[in-house]
Structure 1
Amino acid sequence: MHQAMSLQILLVLLFAGYAYCQEECVKISVSTCDDCIKSGPGCVWCQDLNFTKPGELDTVRCDIKSELLKKGCPEAKLVYPLNDFKKNKDKPLSDGKDGQLLVQVQPQDITLELRPGKPFSFDLTFKRAQGYPVDLYYLMDLSYSMNDDLKNVKNLGKVLLEKLNDITGSARIGFGSFVDKTLLPFTDTNEEKLKKPCPPQELECEPAFGYKHVLSLTNDGQQFIKMVSRQRISGNLDTPEGSLDAIMQAITCEDEIGWGNSTRLLVLATDAGFHMAGDGKLAGILEPNQESCQLDRKKMYSKSNLWDYPSVGQIARKLEEKNIQPIFAVTEKVADVYRELSKLIPKSDVGVLSGDSNNVVKLIVDAYNKLSSNIIVTHDTLPEHVSVTYTSNCEGGHKPSDKGICNNVNIGKEVTFNVTVKASKCIDLKTFNIGPLGFNEKLTVRVQTRCKCECDNNSNKAAEHCNKQGSVVCGTCSCNQGFLGQRCECSVGHKDEAALKAQCRKDNGTECEGRGECECGVCKCHLTEGGNSYYGSHCECDDEHCEKYQNKLCGGNGECKCGKCQCKEGFEGTACQCKKSTDGCLTRSGSVCYGRGDCVCNQCVCKRGYKTPKCETCHTCPLPCQTSGNCIECLGFQKGPFQKNCSASCSHLQAKLEDKLLKKDCRVKDQEGCWMSFTMNELDGFDKYDVKILKDRECPEGPNVGAIVGGSLAAVALIGLLLLLLIKGIIYVNDLKEWKRFEKEQQRRQWAKSENPLFQKATTTVANPTFTGDS
């Protein structure tokens, strides 16, 4: 439900924006009704005789409708040409059965009369008809590496015709071959090698050649087999081939190949890449490809060694112009190359060949079914100042685009494309075509603009309203010769010239800026050097003196209006020198210039001191730590003066509490005297930050009585212990001194050396009388 409501709101806003654009009226040089109508799609002219006040410029008659009604102009007196649509040919869709003419596109011819700047939309219906004929031209690479493939292709024609006839009921097939330019470094120019560029063991070999048309489109399968069977393999030096040369000849030689009013398929079979524009310089070929058929009597490409290879752009444009759909039947090793080429060519497909091309019939049939069911509606070259966009009723086709696309459209299914055409300026009758790619049926669009007012001039009151000196044209006076003024009230040589000339001076400057003559208080502007007229109430404007780029006014991508360039859609810059793009301004966050600048010419123009290239940093923009303190206090700790309206007052900050911070950008005191630590990372835009706040504040602590008492007791005990140790040490030192003195005294005392007569030894010695002392 919410999504539906959001969608409705979005549609309303888009419609309002569209309506506003349609109502816009930019009045640059307006003096007549025709000038007004040309000024913008929302411009309306009031032709009421009495709408302007005396002395008021007729410019006020030109405005948007709502403003003119507000100023009192009767609705019946408003002039604004509308878009007109007419169907010149509108045959109903038909599949061509029962003798009816085959019609797949409706309508077939229309005329549009458009108001400049005002788009007009109409429906184009397409229906795939059963039995629409198919023309298939098989273009084969005959370099030596395709030898096995040629043997299988010789039996291809009959089977392929049968398959296509099963689908369409009417099919034709043709054949052409190619190798490369017969010049160095593309081909060995030795005379013998030119005659036989194949390896020595190959007995049958075609002389070197660029492109050869072999068989025009035919429904005779046996003829295809017969002609292809006569073909022999050839060869060259380098790996890339002259594929684009051959494709260009197959496209442009319509009469020789026999392309009909049919679905046109061009099958390119190869196992190698391709040379493109510029490669011809390697062989000294400087003349670009001229996009024309150049077959000699032998059906050989006669300009192969004189013209350069065509570019991919030339090939894509000619394929679209001739409604030919290419199918690239290539080997696996070059499939990626041709897939990239296919992206550049609308209505093309790539199929992977097997080693000997035995799957080519299935490949072609699958590609045909895919291409035929994918409908792409587009236009040919548009007239200047005309643009066309498309939408469709198919899935994914509701967004306006320069092409209308519908996929998986089965035979018999009708699809509708809404086509919007807009002319930005007044143009004469021009013609262009719209239609589905790959089909010859087109819608012819004849477009012209309505830049003239159709007014109900009141001739009865003309003489009186214009002082009998002029006639009324769309509510304004067209004065007779010799008379001027809003109502022809001034004659040449008016007496009060000073007051009238004062009206021609802008800010008391030069009369009519020196670019015109003041006639009856109105500036009549001179012609510019380029032959156009200066314009503006004081001739202050011209459309020739704008900034140039590459020596082109407004770079060729815009229009000069009153000295300033008004760029075409998709361009910008003072000289419209740049394509609109934000690629160079995108940042890592996906925003443009981090929201701190404008992307001009794909470069950031930064504001408020931020630095290029992406406006990421600002050396003169310090972090707002102190000014963010109140917000940090309420966001992180639900305290402070912003507590009651924190989300509103601090919406520019995205805050998150963290247990630990790797860095601390800011340190601010709150109202309680606690220190708050936080980091600030700037978000896209101005003055927006992602904030990480350390959840633990640093607050001052009060006196700890227990610690103080405990500390005092501990100090007393420590002092007592130290005193005891000191006393103990003194006593020990004194004792040590007394002991040493005692030992010295002991050493000085002298004792008697005689034996004590009272002392008896513990042992008794007796002599043995028989012992002689000999051992």
Structure 2
Amino acid sequence: MFRCIVFLLISAEIISSQFASTAEVCTKIKANTCNECIQSGPHCSWCKKVNFTKAGESDSVRCDTTEKLLSLGCDGTDIVDPISRIVLQDNQPLNDQAQLTPKSLRLQLRPGQTGEFEVKFRRAEGYPVDLYYLMDLSYSMFDDLQNVKNLGNQLLEALNRITKSAQIGFGSFVDKTVLPFVSTHPEQLRHPCTDKNVECQPPFSFKHILNLTGEGKKFRDAVGMQKISGNLDSPEGGLDAMMQVAVCGDKIGWRNVTRLLVYATDDGFHIAGDGKLAAILTPNDGVCHLEDNIYKLSNQLDYPSVGQLAQKLSENNIQVVFAVTSNMVKTYQDLSNLIPKSVVGTLSKDSSNVVQLITDAYQNLSSEVIMDHGITPDFLDILYDSNCSSGDNTVNDVRGYCSNVKINEEITFKVKVTAKKCLPNQSFSIRALGFTDTVRVSVITACECSCEDAPIPNACNSQGRIVCGICSCNNGRLGKNCECAAGSRTSQELEQNCKKDNTSAVCSGAGECICGQCICHINDDPNKKIFGTHCECDNWNCEMFDGKLCAGEGTCDCGVCRCRPGFDGTACQCKTTKESCMKNGVICSGRGTCECNKCNCKGGYIAPDCKSCPGCPSPCPRFGPCVECHIKHEGKNPGNCTNICPGAQVQKVEQVTEEPICREKDVDNCWMRYYIYEEDGLDKYSIRYTLQRECPEPPNVGKIVGFTIGGVIGIGLLCLIIWKLITEVKDRNEYQRFEKERQKVKWDKGDNPIFQTATTTVKNPNFEEDGE
């Protein structure tokens, strides 16, 4: 037990040391300049020390982890290692006007490194609110419209109790005015309601009726002029209307304050794709199409998707309150789960509770804080750590989230930004959904080195200057020390000559490019050498066999084994002779190939000579028809059997003695006996058969019929006797029981003492005459 514990501890230390050693890795295959180095990975540093590399070494040696460079003799002051930095630009304190801080900052990010900063939020008291009431005016909402007509002042009074400034607007929707959503019959278009006594307006998709206003009377007057309408199917075109309310901000009158959209309905909604039912195939474009306050392209554009609508609501900072009847709560809760900063409330049948519903929903939405940054480039990762007063903290989430945030309560979010690669200057905004304040973040990726090199006399052959420890040559000069005349070629073109292809390293990382030619490194071991135009070859990286390079039977040439005569194979592991495969002058019995002096058998046949096939089916049933044909055509025309005996040499013998013997039945139900020998090659057989067959004797029909009739009669008599015996026993038992019952009778058998004779007797005279 002690040994096991020690082993586990040692293993854990080894694993942890391995993780520690691999935690910081610098991949530097193509890093020959400081800029290329720091772009190779977040743990790559550059040594700008002059003369740091040895003769024949590439400048890529200067690129490695800081720890490795220090171990190679580079001074700490000569190591270039940019780090991520954060600069706050506008960090004003939180107050009733500023709920989010800082207002702006700049991030300088090293690719692969994470920059972290904090964002603070405080929910202000009495923040202004804009509320847009979007109502379903299909016929089933008739009672609700009557109550909403009196809501103007009540809604504003309720909002003004919780905010300093409130505005209210109104719009309505039905559905697309095409079949199968709305009847296009002229009479139905004029009066779509089922009750002809109800005042009804023609159907429409979406109407914007009242701009956001602070006057409750205007709301009451505008809604008071509205009439109910109607359509054919149950789902409504509410998503069309919500999209227009979200994207038509100028026409709706949204202010830069908290924006609430109250969506009141008693039914479901159409989604993207439903427009195909009316041959509307163009996807919704998410653009405002209000003309004269009416959605004009309803019958040309499909319904928006839920994701598209959620994006537009978020972009325009709109929070949604779904005020729906009880039968629709589950449907809209599922929709609310897909739309951030939305809530569902149960609307009474006549909408009488809508004021309280909106008030409660506003409190719920305002107490929920969701930090989001919108859409950013794919190579920029943003995560949040939420520090909530309620204790429901989250770490490394794609959004920051805190619930039950009270008024004047301050909460903190840690934002972690990582650039995966060098990017052009970027910017994005972080905001709390449903609130107007934003944090503007500018991102600059640190992908260039800033080196201050002291001038060195006669450096770079007096044809350049030292930049970050290496030569930056004058025009017309090239090379590591500016030793080459460029001529008509650039430094990049000369370096390209030293690359095997665009993706490989200079001189395959095993040599130095001097004036466009690779000078391969010299190995300490004289038996090992690097060669090739691009130093891509060596004489030791070849396949091993039996622990020996090229099996000891060849030489390694640029990754390929060159075998001596008499040997073959990728590692010279095979002899070219075929002695072990040969038998009776045939290689592998004609059922395989000889590889490395061993048979590689086909079709289930096994080594060493491919003679046997344990997994193959027996050939006996296959050649049964063939043998039967030869037996029946014996002495006549056996040539007719050739087609059913493919690949077989058939011979008649007096007696079959070889084993194993095949026994198969023919059409006469007789047993045939024959022997099959598999010759060399595939599907080649020799068959020996005998004319003798074992046939069963024919049945005696007379005996069978006699035994059958006798059996039927015997069984019938036996059944009759059994039935008679059972009946007799049953009758005797019944009689004995009757006798016992009779003997137990105790009543008197004399006259009944209470019996009296009749006092008067009347005779029918007609009866007497008939009797005479």
TM-score scaled to structure 2, two decimals? 0.61
Structure 2 CA distance for partners of 1:454 and 1:314, relative to 1, 3 Å: same
The aligned residue for residue 52 of structure 1 is 53
Distance in 1, matches of 2:129 and 2:356, equals 16
The aligned residue for residue 452 of structure 1 is 448
The aligned residue for residue 412 of structure 1 is 408
The aligned residue for residue 433 of structure 2 is 437
Structure 2 CA distance for partners of 1:483 and 1:216, relative to 1, 3 Å: closer
CA shift, 1:110, in A, is 1.0
Distance in 2, matches of 1:258 and 1:521, equals 68
Do 1:252 and 1:292's aligned partners in 2 also have CA atoms closer than 8 Å? yes
Distance in 1, matches of 2:252 and 2:22, equals 51
The aligned residue for residue 467 of structure 1 is 461
- State whether structure 2 residue 315 is matched by structure 1 residue 314: no
Structure 2 CA distance for partners of 1:227 and 1:22, relative to 1, 3 Å: farther
CA shift, 1:337, in A, is 1.1
The aligned residue for residue 10 of structure 2 is none
Distance in 1, matches of 2:57 and 2:201, equals 87
- State whether structure 2 residue 40 is matched by structure 1 residue 43: no
The aligned residue for residue 353 of structure 1 is 347
Structure 2 CA distance for partners of 1:78 and 1:311, relative to 1, 3 Å: same
Per-residue CA distance 1:253-298 (angstroms, 9 max, x = gap) = 111211001110101101111111111111111221121221222x
Distance in 2, matches of 1:446 and 1:324, equals 25
- State whether structure 2 residue 367 is matched by structure 1 residue 380: no
CA shift, 1:335, in A, is 1.3
Structure 2 CA distance for partners of 1:188 and 1:81, relative to 1, 3 Å: same
The aligned residue for residue 230 of structure 1 is 225
Which letter does structure 2 place at the counterpart of 1:477?
Answer: C
Per-residue CA distance 1:67-113 (angstroms, 9 max, x = gap) = 11111100000001122222222221111xxxxxx111111011111
Distance in 2, matches of 1:470 and 1:316, equals 59
Structure 2 CA distance for partners of 1:289 and 1:49, relative to 1, 3 Å: same
Which letter does structure 2 place at the counterpart of 1:41?
Answer: P
Alignment of 1:478-517 (within 5 A): 478-480=472-474, 484-489=478-483
Structure 2: state its 5+ residue gaps. Answer: 1-12, 488-493, 520-532, 537-772
Do 2:394 and 2:401's aligned partners in 1 also have CA atoms closer than 8 Å? no
CA shift, 1:351, in A, is 0.9
Do 1:397 and 1:404's aligned partners in 2 also have CA atoms closer than 8 Å? no
Distance in 2, matches of 1:213 and 1:14, equals 67
After superposition, the CA RMSD in angstroms is 3.1
SS in 1 for 2:291: coil
Which letter does structure 2 place at the counterpart of 1:80?
Answer: D
Which letter does structure 2 place at the counterpart of 1:23?
Answer: E
- State whether structure 2 residue 166 is matched by structure 1 residue 171: yes
Q: What is the percent sequence identity of the aligned residues?
A: 53
Do 2:243 and 2:304's aligned partners in 1 also have CA atoms closer than 8 Å? yes
Alignment of 1:753-772 (within 5 A): none
Q: Which of these residues, 266, 272, 278, is aligned with residue 261 of structure 2?
A: 266
Distance in 2, matches of 1:232 and 1:15, equals 74
The aligned residue for residue 238 of structure 2 is 243
Per-residue CA distance 1:572-607 (angstroms, 9 max, x = gap) = xxxxxxxxxxxxxxxxxxxxxxxxxxxxxxxxxxxx
Alignment of 1:267-416 (within 5 A): 267-297=262-292, 299-394=293-388, 395-416=391-412
CA shift, 1:511, in A, is 11
CA shift, 1:470, in A, is 3.0
Distance in 2, matches of 1:371 and 1:18, equals 45
Do 1:106 and 1:126's aligned partners in 2 also have CA atoms closer than 8 Å? yes
The aligned residue for residue 159 of structure 1 is 154
Distance in 2, matches of 1:510 and 1:265, equals 59
SS in 2 for 1:380: coil
Query: What is the number of equivalent residue pairs in this alignment?
Result: 498
SS in 2 for 1:122: strand
Which letter does structure 2 place at the counterpart of 1:350?
Answer: V
CA shift, 1:17, in A, is 11
Structure 2 CA distance for partners of 1:22 and 1:87, relative to 1, 3 Å: farther
Distance in 1, matches of 2:505 and 2:348, equals 83
Alignment of 1:174-213 (within 5 A): 174-213=169-208
- State whether structure 2 residue 219 is matched by structure 1 residue 215: no
The aligned residue for residue 575 of structure 2 is none
- State whether structure 2 residue 105 is matched by structure 1 residue 104: no
Do 2:52 and 2:74's aligned partners in 1 also have CA atoms closer than 8 Å? yes
Distance in 2, matches of 1:312 and 1:284, equals 20
Which letter does structure 1 place at the counterpart of 2:316?
Answer: K
SS in 2 for 1:222: helix
Distance in 2, matches of 1:343 and 1:89, equals 35
- State whether structure 2 residue 72 is matched by structure 1 residue 71: yes
CA shift, 1:160, in A, is 1.6
Do 1:116 and 1:449's aligned partners in 2 also have CA atoms closer than 8 Å? yes
Structure 2 CA distance for partners of 1:357 and 1:214, relative to 1, 3 Å: same
Distance in 1, matches of 2:535 and 2:349, equals 76
CA shift, 1:202, in A, is 3.2
Which letter does structure 1 place at the counterpart of 2:330?
Answer: D
TM-score scaled to structure 1, two decimals? 0.61
Which letter does structure 1 place at the counterpart of 2:338?
Answer: L
CA shift, 1:240, in A, is 0.3
